[in-house]
Amino acid sequence: MAVALRLVDRTSTDIKDCFEGARVKFEELIEVLSGPNTRSATHSAVEDQLFNEVFELGRQLLQGHMDVRGDGDVGEEVEGSDGVVRKKERRRSRKMESKFGTVEVNRLSYEAPGVPSLHPKDAGLNLPSRLFSHGVTKQVAYEAAKGSFDEVVDSLTRTTHAQVGKRQAEQLAVETAVDFDEKALRCFGNFRDSLRR
């Protein structure tokens, strides 16, 4: 049984509250950029400072988006693909490491004894099962194809605010390669089968 997430009916005040952190950060950036110290700085100093601050603004915006999406309420119960009905139990949160840094995803958990819990918000957002966002995983795979894992971590540190260690980068690259191989084999099999018809 497919479930649809309920759109959260939010007032404009609720939405403003969800994005308050981003609004405050944006105002701080404007104040810094128009201040006397920044107006007398070189363009490269301003660029470097802004580069780092924009990641925090992006993180705040992504966090606001996660919050405005609600908690994934689909009703009092949900049936999993295993046929087991799970009941709405409690609110839980999980962290996700994005290119902008860590965000927290608050969501409802639907549970039944002896089976894994379901979190419809995770499905609605297509969240990965692991800590790292698809964007971080994709960048790890791209960088791993070009060089060493030390270089992967260095590149991520320079171009994102994701916190990825060398061992984590290695694991992500291996998982991504396995996922790619499985998808390629399925696609090739489907293509081959279509030729036989």
pLDDT digits (tens, 9 = 90+) for 177-192: 776 656 566 655 555 5
Tell me the pLDDT band of 14, cut-offs 50, 70 and 90.
Answer: confident
Residue with more model confidence, 8 or 116: 116
Q: What percent of the chain has pLDDT over 90?
A: 75
| Mean pLDDT estimate for the chain | 88
What's the whole-number mean pLDDT along residues 82-102?
A: 95
Pair 122, 156 in one domain: no
Pair 45, 81 in one domain: yes
Banded pLDDT at 77 (limits 50, 70, 90): very high
**Average pLDDT rounded to a whole number, residues 34-51:** 93
Give the per-residue pLDDT at 61.
97
In this predicted structure, the answer to whether residue 2 has a pLDDT above a threshold of 70 is no
Answer yes or no: do 166 and 192 share one domain.
yes
Inter-CA distances, 124 with 98, 173, 189, Å: 17, 25, 29
21 and 70 in a common domain: yes
Which of 108, 127, 146 is a domain's end point?
Answer: 127
Provide the domain limits for residue 106: 1-127
What is the rounded CA–CA span in Å between residue 26 and residue 30?
6
Whether 7 and 92 map to the same domain: the answer is yes
Instruction: Specify whether the CB–CB gap between 66 and 103 falls below 8 A.
Output: yes
Question: Does pLDDT of 149 surpass 80?
Answer: yes
- So what's the pLDDT on residue 7? 57
> 117 with 143, same domain?
no
pLDDT of residue 1: 44
Burial of 84 per CB tally in 10 Å (0-12, 13-18, 19+): middle
- Alpha carbons 143 and 106: distance in angstroms, whole number: 31
pTM comes to 0.81
Whether residue 123 sits in one domain with residue 140: no
- Does residue 43 share a domain with residue 17? yes
Instruction: Identify whether residues 169 and 114 lie together within a single domain.
Output: no
pLDDT band, residue 176 (cuts 50/70/90) = confident
**What's residue 15's pLDDT?**
87
58 and 111 within one domain: yes
Same domain, yes or no: 177 and 123: no
- Domain total for the chain? 2
Confidence of residue 174 (pLDDT cuts 50, 70, 90): confident
Same-domain check for residues 162 and 69: no
Q: How many C-beta neighbours within 10 Å does residue 86 have?
A: 19
Whether 20 has a pLDDT exceeding 50, the answer reads yes
Instruction: Determine the average pLDDT of the residues in 43-60.
Output: 94
Residue that is last in its domain, among 95, 127, 159? 127
Find the distance separating the first CA and the last CA of the chain, reported in whole Å: 32
Domain boundary among 127, 154, 182: 127
